[in-house]
Amino acid sequence: MSRAADAAGAPSTSPPGVLPWLAGPLADALRHQRGHALLVQGAQGAGQFEFAIALARAWLCESPASGRPDGIACGHCESCRLVAADQIHPDLCVLLPEARHLALGWQRPGDMPDGGDTKRKPSEWISIRQVRSAIEFSTLTSGRGRLKVVVIHPAERMQPAAASALLKLLEEPQGGQRFVLACGDATGLLPTVRSRCHALTLPAPDSVLAARWLADAGLPDAAALLVASGGAPLAALERHALGLDAALWSKLPALVAAGDPQPLQRLPMPLVIESLHKLCHDAMLAACGVAPRYFAAGSVPADAAIERLVDWGDALRRAARHAEHPWNAALLVESLVLQGRRALRG
């Protein structure tokens, strides 16, 4: 079941299948629907994909509109069930990079890497083959006699040839077909694709609703983890699943100041580097007398040496380029923590 569908079960007042902080923007989008293509932008981990699916689900919902407040999907008709549970709705085409299928809980039996090679690393890109499948989908008659919807996420991860092929589809839409392109960074999209879409920017998630949702999902000290994740609830959930909880986060400044890399060694390298980067960022703020953004006030040393922080930040950026394949992960973590220690000690 997808994360969007998981949200349906979350004990909150949000409509079924809708993450609580997305309910307001979703109602607005449904009320002011314009054009056949929508470009949804939002911060990483804020729920753009879940928003796109909730929108598609609402458009495809077969319950009478009069019984659905704000036009949001009912969550129990056959169409809603097909989207949420089996993900085999005949009038919904979802394009994701192979690498995102599993992470987003959107994996169908037929979702094989291009060419069927299961040993190959899953692609981080949306291929021309996938866009061609959407073009083929657009030529078919609606399976349930209503609209057809194509969801693409993250749209900025379309290969150039794939984006060009999509452009043709956006320029000559078939009747009764809608597109939702969800993305974190619209500048990565072809300007010609952007110009054919109605842009919608998601507001930052409401922190109270998001923290409550995380607490309902079983995260202790959810508010702290939400701050650690820049206010992005799905990013907080993902970090927690990877082993970064609020207790470790609160200890991180002291661990680095003491030069102790041990508790970080069990985390994936990209997460270690990102976490150290946030500490470096907050130490820079603290050194300038500004309140930290990701860590609790007072937990970050305020007397770090700016030049050493700059060097540490550069080393973290270099390490980030090879974070997926470090030559020696344990040694790299140790080296980055020791460099952080020197910087934090001023």
Select 61 or 316, whichever has its Cβ closest to Zn ion: 61
Of 61 and 210, nearer to Zn ion (C-beta) is: 61
Contacts by 281-288, CB closer than 8 A, 24 or more apart: 281/313, 282/253, 283/253, 283/309, 283/343, 283/344, 284/309, 284/313
Q: Which residue has the tokens 């008659």?
A: 141
Nearer to Zn ion by Cβ, of 79 and 275: the residue is 79
Residue 92 beta carbon to Zn ion: minimum distance, rounded to whole angstroms: 13
Q: Interacting stretch for Zn ion, rule CB under 5 A, among 78-86, 88-96, 195-203, 315-323?
A: 78-86
Burial (Cβ within 10 Å: 0-12, 13-18, ≥19) of residue 328: exposed
Handedness of CA 238, 239, 242, 247 (dihedral sign): negative
> Of 72 and 219, which has the nearer Cβ to Zn ion?
72
Q: How far is CA 301 from CA 13, 26, 194, 253, 271, in A?
A: 41, 41, 44, 8, 22
Task: Choose the stretch contacting Zn ion; rule: CB under 5 A; options: 19-27, 58-66, 205-213, 247-255.
Answer: 58-66
Find the shortest distance in angstroms from Cβ 63 to Zn ion: 5
d(CA 285, CA 311): 15
Exactly one of 5, 29, 56, 61 binds Zn ion (CB under 5 A); that residue is 61
Shortest distance in whole angstroms from residue 151 CB to Zn ion: 17
63 near Zn ion, rule: CB under 5 A: yes
Question: Phi first, then psi: what are they for 199, rounded to 5°?
Answer: -85, 140
Our CB check for Zn ion shows the closer of 40 and 74 to be 74
The correct pick among 7, 26, 56, 74 for binding Zn ion (CB under 5 A) is 74
Q: Is residue 92 involved in binding Zn ion (CB under 5 A)?
A: no
- Shortest distance (Å) from residue 78 CB to Zn ion: 8
Contact range with Zn ion by CB under 5 A, out of 23-31, 55-63, 162-170, 258-266:
55-63
Smaller CB separation from Zn ion, 73 or 264: 73
Q: CA–CA distance from 235 to each of 178, 215, 232, 260 (Å)?
A: 28, 14, 5, 25
SS3 280: helix
Give the one residue of 80, 92, 244, 252 binding Zn ion; rule: CB under 5 A: 80
Under rule CB under 5 A, residue 77 binds Zn ion: yes
- Distance of CA 52 to CAs 22, 156, 234, 310, Å? 10, 15, 15, 39
- Identify the CA nearest to 313 among candidates 326, 298, 249, 285: 285
Task: Write out the binding residues for Zn ion, residues 258-297 only, by CB under 5 A.
Answer: none
Give the shortest CB-80-to-Zn ion separation in angstroms.
3
CB of 68 to Zn ion, least distance (A): 8
Cβ-contact 173, 36 below 8 angstroms: yes
- 82 near Zn ion, judged by CB under 5 A: no
> At closest approach, how far in Å is the CB of 56 from Zn ion?
12
CB of 91 to Zn ion, least distance (A): 13
State the Cα–Cα distance between residues 38 and 177, nearest whole angstrom: 12
The answer to whether 17 and 5 are in contact (CB under 8 A) is yes
Interacting residue ranges for Zn ion, rule: CB under 5 A: 61, 63, 73-74, 77, 80
